[in-house]
Structure 1
Amino acid sequence: MATTKKREMVFFDVEATQSLSLPGECSLLEFAAILVCPRRLVEVSSYSTLIRPDDASADGGVLSASSGAPSFEDVFPDIFELLDGRVWAGHGIRRAGYPRMREAFAAFGLGAPEPVGVVDSLDVLLAQGAQGCFGPAAAGDDGQVEDEEAAAAALAEHFGIGARRARGLRCLDGARVSLEYQNNQ
């Protein structure tokens, strides 16, 4: 791993679904990442792909073999190269992104990429009192996030960097919202 890679930052987002035929296992459906200049926090490059799950029932057959979406086996080298040895950033990546990456790589007997640091905007949101300026979409009465996607949309709306959408925030959009949030701090 090059020492310059350690200074690089990658904002990423994943979409996963529970496997119907393999209880307790998740399948990645989408992955998106933005490589960012750490000094100026501007996008250098991006990568986005749908991922066809090995278990066709996992996504209700939406990403069938005929859809043209690659399998995880086809894209894991690109994902590994983007993530390994970089600072990871995103919304809810400690709770969702990082565990999903580890699960996906482990399912194929592969070592998962490892971050040199993690910046999670969900942690920042919760540290600011969750209910504070982001409203009930961000957290429930107990301070726990009930809907991470709604919380990300609330952040985007708060900072004027996107229309609030309770559902349908694509992974690349989600990574860009996280980048814009960091730029507005």
Structure 2
Amino acid sequence: MKVESLHGLAILEFGAILVCHKKLVELRSYSTLVRPSNPKLVSSLSVRSNGITPEAVIAAPSFADIADTVYDILHGRIWAGHNIVRFDGVLIREAFAEIGRTAPEPQGTIDTLELLTQKFGRRAGNMKMASLATYFGLGNQTHRSLDDVKMNIKVLKHCATVLFLESSLPDIFPENHWVHPDIFEKVLYSVPFNTAHPDTFDMVAPGNEMNAASHQPDVTMEENPILQPPEMPSTVTVPESCSDSLVFLEPDEVSLPSIRALHVPFSGGSQRVKLFYEGAILQLCCPRLRIRFGISKKFPDHAGRPKLSFVVDASPSLYGVLDTCDRIVQKVYADSGCSSEWTCVVSKRHYPTVRLHIPTAVNGDVAQYATDMYLKEPSGTTQKLIFSKFDATELDTYFKPGTFVDSYLSLNPYDYQQRSGIQLVTTKLVIHNE
């Protein structure tokens, strides 16, 4: 599906192709110009962008005239498109609302902007459709609805073919052969990559993930105005004792000029941005962070489980490290062509605070906390907390506002659905029972 709009305010053209999901061949197509309520708004800038003239739209049907056809094409089907979650889908729903009609609802949603960015990496720069088309030599984007849909299908097929070859014939098509050799020399052979989650190309799973993500509310938390970043992988591996096997630095130990952010190769031909300090992954141990707001359970993951997080006050030294990481990672994303909205990891609205995330580990149908949690008594005795089941309400007792925690943190940069930032994930927590 593709909607050509007037500055994102009115639909000028609608186009859709019904595709067989098994063969990716065209079964049916439909496109039409659409007359906006005020055709005079079609400017010379719009004409230069897509070639749609005021004269053309004056003779076109209104959206009310085509609403039945659009509804029949879209309702109950899987919607696919480039940036469809934030653009095309929103305009379709608004157009139906304006004429007082019930909008069609998708059975699922696949946003190829997010899907291809996640699976294909940023090989094509900013991953816009025009950039992808140029990368694969498919010609120029016309910004006409049906042409753009056809180009989207071609791009998806090309990406799928490349990823299939890289995953099926790794000796002939090494998945990271396209990465700059300097990055290979500095990073590839020195960084212990997480191999617990092979990032294989699976059209079904990403489709479900995009559908779930499309229903996440794009709002801020009431207690702390930090936008919700994407959820972490559903299965994670955490060492029995984090401090024994990994290097965690206290913020005071970090020399800010020595922090680096680099694109590193990941399985499936993608890249991820990682933060480094003196040749190792940057991870922080932050003693005695004061909890400002307790466990948040407002946002569910794709399986309906709450995505757990809590807010702590940021000490001056932690604030300095994270502020530096923000600037470094934001520049790396910008230099690679990323146009996503940046969310600072430290909230400065009333006082410096940061949100810490507790990931979920899933083994079959059993879910549990992936963070090692310990309770430290005033006597100094520390015992590990054992939870028999995943029940987020049981954490409320331990994560009360004013409680102090020692936090072992991984700093995970993300670029997800046109939003980017750094997510702080807890691998180990020591809760002070004072």
After TM superposition, the score normalised by the length of structure 1 is 0.73
Q: Does 1:15 align with 2:4?
A: yes
Higher RCO, 1 vs 2 (CA within 8 Å, ≥6 residues apart): 1
Of 142, 154, 165, which aligns to 2:131?
Answer: 154
**Structure 2 equivalent of residue 38 of structure 1:** 21
Task: Please list, as runs of the form range in 1=range in 2, the aligned pairs for 1:34-183 lying within 5 A after superposition.
Answer: 34-60=17-43, 62-64=53-55, 67-128=58-119, 132-135=122-125, 137-138=126-127, 151-160=128-137, 162-165=138-141, 168-183=142-157
Query: Partners in 2 of 1:175 and 1:109 — Cα distance?
Result: 28
Secondary structure of 1:104's counterpart equals helix
Q: Post-superposition shift, 1:63?
A: 3.4
Superposed CA RMSD: 2.2
Q: Post-superposition shift, 1:65?
A: 8.2
Query: Partners in 2 of 1:173 and 1:105 — Cα distance?
Result: 24
Query: Partners in 2 of 1:159 and 1:153 — Cα distance?
Result: 10
Q: Post-superposition shift, 1:54?
A: 1.1
Per-residue displacement from partner, 1:121-180 (whole Å, max 9, x unpaired)? 1102332586x2112x43xxxxxxxxxxxx1011122233x2134xx3211111111212
Query: Partners in 1 of 2:133 and 2:57 — Cα distance?
Result: 35
Per-residue displacement from partner, 1:59-90 (whole Å, max 9, x unpaired)? 23933588421111111111111000000111
Per-residue displacement from partner, 1:38-58 (whole Å, max 9, x unpaired)? 111100111010001112233
Amino acid at match of 2:88: G
Q: Post-superposition shift, 1:105?
A: 0.4
Structure 1 residues 122, 66: CA separation in 2 closer, same or farther (over 3 Å shift)? closer
Structure ranking higher in strand proportion: 2
* Shift >6 Å, 4+ stretches: none
Structure 1 residues 66, 118: CA separation in 2 closer, same or farther (over 3 Å shift)? closer
Structure ranking higher in helix proportion: 1
Number of corresponding residues: 151
Contact 1:31 1:51 in 2 (8 A): yes
Percent identical among aligned pairs is: 38
Query: Partners in 2 of 1:128 and 1:169 — Cα distance?
Result: 25
Amino acid at match of 1:16: S
Contact 1:52 1:64 in 2 (8 A): no
After TM superposition, the score normalised by the length of structure 2 is 0.33
Secondary structure of 2:87's counterpart equals helix
**Structure 1 equivalent of residue 199 of structure 2:** none
Higher Rg: 2
